[in-house]
Chains A and B, each alone.
Chain A
Amino acid sequence: MSAATLPDSEQRASGAADASLAERVFRIRESGILAVLIVFVGVTTAVQHRFLDTANIQFMLVDTTTFALLALGETLVVISRNVDLSVGSVVGLSAYLSADLFVGHPGIPIPVVFLAGLGIGLACGVVNGFMVAIGRVPSLVVTLATLYIIRGIDILIVGGNEVDASSLPNAFLDIPKDTIGGIPDIAIAVALIIAIGAYYLRTFRSGRDLYAIGSNPDAARLAGLPVGRRVFTAFAVSGAIAGVAGVLWSAQYGTINSTAGTGYELQVVSAVVVGGVAIFGGSGSVTGAAIGALLLTTISSALYVLGISSFWDQAIWGFLLLVAIALDQTITERLTNALRSRKPGSRKPGSARPGFRKPGARKPAIESPGTTHE
């Protein structure tokens, strides 16, 4: 064993150095958006000191929570080379139905309402997962359809009705307002959930399977991975998370009609991509996606504080998306080249091609995600 012959410390050191090459990429992506975030906050604060008020920070954190939660679920799906466009509609449906529970059953315990929201979302996610994983319909089509169908159901149920804050219990409306040491409770809770999600994706087989599936679906099937089951689960979890996010949404806004959560799905996908999750799967992290969500919320908030038209909001989001995708490509290319030139010493000394450089090697690397063979 080569490993055993190396001094232990040295081996660990070299292992760490090697691992960092892969992980550095994630870090480059994450620290990249983190840097953008800091610059943005710095510039805005310089112009408008109110921006970093406790109240505004709390407001931004609360605003980010639903968003970051949805980004977590979406990340699971996107990593597996799929997309879930139905989350906005799921948020809307769950927000109304859960708020309506308080109207129909005054005094219902709040955890039960959260469970109900989770159940509604799970049901939607299961439908998506079933059609994608078992029906083998492309997820873009499936979730675009359920985006409309779920919104349609929402409109059928809600009609012209509206639940407003007066029919919701104060304890429920206070959820986004409670703080521990100045930090909103739910921000802490969501941060914990994201940390667990990140840890899970890194250290459990089923989490790694998602990366494998997104990296090369055909190979995943050939390797005997339970591709269908994993993809199904990713959609179910994304749906369930969207259900919970819907309940949080109604607590946060208090007024829920049939338009709740409209357009959320694209914002969530944007946050995920800006956060460095590759849109064609295989790489990225939950943490990155959450930072992406925080960045997008911060931008909206900053523009508001600076009194700039919210038109710019969308323009800047779009711009960031392009930057993120361009960056993604560049990084992948750079990484591929760096890895190619890093000859693993696989040639015997005195072999025919000592230190042989592959000129512009076009062929050998795994380049496109869609390796096919018959």
Chain B
Amino acid sequence: MDVAGSGPSDQPDTAGASPVLELRHATKSFGAVRALVDGSVELRPGEVHALLGENGAGKSTLVKILAGVHQPDDGTLTVGGQEVTLHGPAAARAAGIAVIYQEPTLFPDLTVAENMFVGRQPLRADTGAKGDRRIDRRAMHDEAAAIFQRLGVPLDPARPARGLSIADQQVVEIGKALSLNARVIVMDEPTAALSAAEVDRLFEVIRTLQAQDAAILFISHRLEEVFAICTRVTVMRDGAHVLTSDLAGLTAGDLVRAMVGRELAERPPEAAGAQPGEPVLTVERLTREGVFTDISFTVRSGEIVALSGLVGAGRSEVARAVFGIDRYDAGQVTVSGRPLKKASPTSAMAAGIGFVPEDRRQQGLVMDMSVQQNVALASLARLSQGGLIRASAERAMATDWGARLKIKYGRLTDPVSMLSGGNQQKVVLAKWLGRKPSLLIVDEPTRGIDVGTKAEVHHLLIELARSGVGILMISSELPEVLGVSDRILVMREGALVAEFSHAQASEEVVVSAAMGQQDDLQEGMPR
């Protein structure tokens, strides 16, 4: 990972340039909720500008104002020296603003080239044939290919977007922005779902754009990325602008303080450090054809074991197989001494495993159900009598766990979709903790969660381990892996390639193992 390798110092000096975009004192309310109190940001050509803030700080609203999706209640937006009002996404596009959302918004059934040019495909009329409103497919593909060439990414313009990796989908979105001659490119958490190698490639693309004088607004929860790629930073808190400054001279601590408005007690958290007990999970030679091979490891009670590696190395797949969501072809999973039935989440749950999945919105929660119902979901048998769920028991359980995990909610009957990402994740945790699991599998427990809540989740995991629960954690965030876990297992291309104790582990050795560059690091090998 290219962490802080190229500091702000070797970035071009943009201090003198006049801003290409300026949003001043924008406000936006949705009903009684004031999402944006003072949205202000200033972008200069050729700069990569970080926009930081906890979830709920108003970043998304600000982005949607720039995208023309929301219209501000008040405030001014100036683009290229002209005050503009963006009535819709098309107007933003015309003003030269392109937005790349966290989850790329492509059309899976259309080709890559069509995705870039949708609604404004080159026409035959553009090249002579007067009044010919037919699409010039050839010109479209050529233009797309030229843009990918410029970005240095050889994507095939004629293939359908279906099946593209998230990283490639983002490249298509960036290509779209380029084809629009966008002067301002907003990237909303572009790295959230990328592996380290893909992040590096994205950064190269961003530097290319920067060299071509585009202004880039870069939103990320990962501070090391901000320091690696950005020149200036704007921090927001509670819907308002807190600071805008050159990054040079600022520390991660400064930024975190600005974001949360308080000192964080611990960051990153310490490892559990408790004395591990008996093995709760033993995985022996687990194999699934073409996905992972010969995976063996144990998790003992009171121990946090991290499963690390690049996105796509097979980490989540192993976890899913252990929990019984996916089948496996060979091997054995043993929980607290008893062999576990294959491919049966029910028996995994009965054996005391809890599973917090990677995608909390799709897999962890039922978004339309209430906070209370979601918390109770895995404990319904305990909460019901004669086949009927006792609402009072459900409420008592939700209230109890809500208080214990400090979940912030309006009412227990509110749909869980109304909570912030961090609080949603706490609901998922509460759901499983209610079953008093002996082993908890957590997949990307803090993805898309703001800094403050992230620390709370970390503490929670450590406390759980101290109380004797074994925890298997999958995480793509190295500081999290290094900070929280007692042992780190590294997977690469479907195989377990290294194991490190908390003391042995460092960012360098884990990344090297994950990327297969460990010739001089044999000491960590398990076999």
Chain A residues proximal to chain B, CB less than 8 Å: 1-3, 15, 18-19, 21-22, 203-205, 208-209, 211-212, 214-216, 218-225, 278, 282-283, 332, 335-340, 342, 344-348, 351-353, 356-367, 369, 371-374
Given contacts A203-B134, A359-B314, A362-B317, contact A22 B105 (CB under 8 A): no
**In the bound complex, what is the Cα–Cα distance between A203 and B516 (angstroms)?**
48
B493 x A339 contact (CB < 8 A): no
A15 x B141 contact (CB < 8 A): yes
List 19 additional contacts besides A336-B163, A352-B515; criterion CB under 8 Å: A2-B154, A3-B145, A19-B158, A205-B121, A209-B119, A212-B110, A215-B108, A216-B107, A218-B105, A342-B159, A344-B154, A344-B168, A346-B201, A351-B197, A351-B201, A352-B197, A358-B165, A365-B165, A371-B105
B312 x A366 contact (CB < 8 A): no
**In the bound complex, what is the Cα–Cα distance between A214 and B103 (angstroms)?**
18
* B148 contact set on A, CB distance < 8 A: 2
**In the bound complex, what is the Cα–Cα distance between A371 and B105 (angstroms)?**
7
Minimal Cβ-Cβ distance residue in A for B101: A373
**In the bound complex, what is the Cα–Cα distance between A221 and B89 (angstroms)?**
8
* B157 contact set on A, CB distance < 8 A: 18
B118 x A339 contact (CB < 8 A): no
B156 is an interface residue with CB less than 8 A from chain A: yes
Count of chain B residues with a beta carbon within 8 Å of a chain A beta carbon? 79
* B103 contact set on A, CB distance < 8 A: 371-373
A209 x B108 contact (CB < 8 A): no
Given contacts A22-B111, A346-B155, A346-B168, contact A209 B118 (CB under 8 A): yes
B133 x A373 contact (CB < 8 A): no
Chain B 172-215 interface residues, beta-carbon cutoff 8 Å to A: 193, 195-197, 201
B93 x A224 contact (CB < 8 A): yes
**In the bound complex, what is the Cα–Cα distance between A219 and B116 (angstroms)?**
12
Instruction: Give the one of B142, B148, B292 with max A CB within 10 A.
Output: B142
Query: B291-319 toward A: CB 8 Å interface, digit per residue (1/0)?
Result: 11000000000000000001111101100
Distance between B10 CB and nearest chain A CB, rounded to angstroms: 21
Sampled A-B contacts (11; CB under 8 Å): A215-B107, A222-B99, A222-B101, A224-B92, A278-B109, A282-B108, A335-B160, A342-B159, A348-B201, A359-B493, A372-B103
A22 x B516 contact (CB < 8 A): no
Minimal Cβ-Cβ distance residue in A for B136: A203
Distance between B465 CB and nearest chain A CB, rounded to angstroms: 27
Distance between B444 CB and nearest chain A CB, rounded to angstroms: 10
* B160 contact set on A, CB distance < 8 A: 21-22, 335, 339
* A211 contact set on B, CB distance < 8 A: 107, 109-110
**In the bound complex, what is the Cα–Cα distance between A216 and B108 (angstroms)?**
8
Chain B 99-157 interface residues, beta-carbon cutoff 8 Å to A: 99, 101-103, 105-111, 114, 118-121, 123, 133-135, 138, 141-142, 145-146, 148-149, 153-157
Q: Which of B106, B358, B493 contacts A357 (CB 8 A)?
A: B493
Given contacts A208-B110, A222-B69, A359-B291, contact A21 B164 (CB under 8 A): no
Distance between B207 CB and nearest chain A CB, rounded to angstroms: 14
Main secondary structure, interface of B, reads loop
Distance between B331 CB and nearest chain A CB, rounded to angstroms: 15
A362 x B111 contact (CB < 8 A): no
Chain B 474-527 interface residues, beta-carbon cutoff 8 Å to A: 493-494, 515-517
* B120 contact set on A, CB distance < 8 A: 205
Minimal Cβ-Cβ distance residue in A for B312: A358
Q: Which of A2, A224, A344, A372 contacts B89 (CB 8 A)?
A: A224
A364 x B358 contact (CB < 8 A): no
* B197 contact set on A, CB distance < 8 A: 347, 351-353
A366 x B163 contact (CB < 8 A): yes
A208 x B312 contact (CB < 8 A): no
A212 x B107 contact (CB < 8 A): yes
Minimal Cβ-Cβ distance residue in B for A366: B108
* B493 contact set on A, CB distance < 8 A: 356-357, 359
Given contacts A204-B134, A204-B135, A344-B168, contact A359 B162 (CB under 8 A): no
B377 is an interface residue with CB less than 8 A from chain A: no
Distance between A221 CB and nearest chain B CB, rounded to angstroms: 7
B67 is an interface residue with CB less than 8 A from chain A: yes
* B165 contact set on A, CB distance < 8 A: 340, 358, 361, 364-365
A344 x B145 contact (CB < 8 A): no
Distance between A287 CB and nearest chain B CB, rounded to angstroms: 17
Distance between B315 CB and nearest chain A CB, rounded to angstroms: 10
Chain B residues proximal to chain A, CB less than 8 Å: 60, 67-69, 88-93, 99, 101-103, 105-111, 114, 118-121, 123, 133-135, 138, 141-142, 145-146, 148-149, 153-169, 171, 193, 195-197, 201, 288, 290-292, 310-314, 316-317, 326, 358-359, 493-494, 515-517
Given contacts A22-B159, A346-B153, A363-B166, contact A216 B106 (CB under 8 A): yes
A216 x B133 contact (CB < 8 A): no
Distance between B307 CB and nearest chain A CB, rounded to angstroms: 14
**In the bound complex, what is the Cα–Cα distance between A273 and B156 (angstroms)?**
30
**In the bound complex, what is the Cα–Cα distance between A220 and B108 (angstroms)?**
12
A364 x B159 contact (CB < 8 A): no
Closest 6 CB pairs of A and B: A339-B163, A224-B90, A219-B105, A18-B158, A359-B291, A282-B109
**In the bound complex, what is the Cα–Cα distance between A214 and B290 (angstroms)?**
34
**In the bound complex, what is the Cα–Cα distance between A360 and B325 (angstroms)?**
13
* A203 contact set on B, CB distance < 8 A: 134-135
**In the bound complex, what is the Cα–Cα distance between A71 and B108 (angstroms)?**
24
Q: Which of B156, B158, B169, B290 contacts A366 (CB 8 A)?
A: B169
* B153 contact set on A, CB distance < 8 A: 346
**In the bound complex, what is the Cα–Cα distance between A212 and B115 (angstroms)?**
8
A365 x B201 contact (CB < 8 A): no
* B517 contact set on A, CB distance < 8 A: 352
Minimal Cβ-Cβ distance residue in A for B197: A352
Minimal Cβ-Cβ distance residue in A for B111: A22
* B358 contact set on A, CB distance < 8 A: 363
* A222 contact set on B, CB distance < 8 A: 67, 69, 89, 99, 101, 105
B106 x A366 contact (CB < 8 A): yes
A208 x B118 contact (CB < 8 A): yes
* A335 contact set on B, CB distance < 8 A: 160, 162-163
A15 x B118 contact (CB < 8 A): no
A204 x B133 contact (CB < 8 A): yes
B154 x A346 contact (CB < 8 A): yes
* B316 contact set on A, CB distance < 8 A: 362-363
B154 x A215 contact (CB < 8 A): no
A2 x B109 contact (CB < 8 A): no
* B516 contact set on A, CB distance < 8 A: 352
Distance between B321 CB and nearest chain A CB, rounded to angstroms: 10
A359 x B292 contact (CB < 8 A): yes
* A2 contact set on B, CB distance < 8 A: 145-146, 148-149, 154
Distance between B61 CB and nearest chain A CB, rounded to angstroms: 10
Given contacts A215-B107, A352-B310, contact A3 B146 (CB under 8 A): yes
* A369 contact set on B, CB distance < 8 A: 108
**In the bound complex, what is the Cα–Cα distance between A22 and B196 (angstroms)?**
31
**In the bound complex, what is the Cα–Cα distance between A372 and B288 (angstroms)?**
31
**In the bound complex, what is the Cα–Cα distance between A216 and B106 (angstroms)?**
7
B162 x A1 contact (CB < 8 A): no
**In the bound complex, what is the Cα–Cα distance between A365 and B197 (angstroms)?**
18
Distance between B137 CB and nearest chain A CB, rounded to angstroms: 8
**In the bound complex, what is the Cα–Cα distance between A216 and B134 (angstroms)?**
23
* B164 contact set on A, CB distance < 8 A: 339, 364-366
B196 x A361 contact (CB < 8 A): no
B89 x A366 contact (CB < 8 A): no
* A282 contact set on B, CB distance < 8 A: 107-109
* B494 contact set on A, CB distance < 8 A: 359
* B135 contact set on A, CB distance < 8 A: 203-205, 208
A339 x B317 contact (CB < 8 A): no
Instruction: Give the one of B160, B291, B292 with max A CB within 10 A.
Output: B160
Distance between B120 CB and nearest chain A CB, rounded to angstroms: 8
Distance between A241 CB and nearest chain B CB, rounded to angstroms: 22
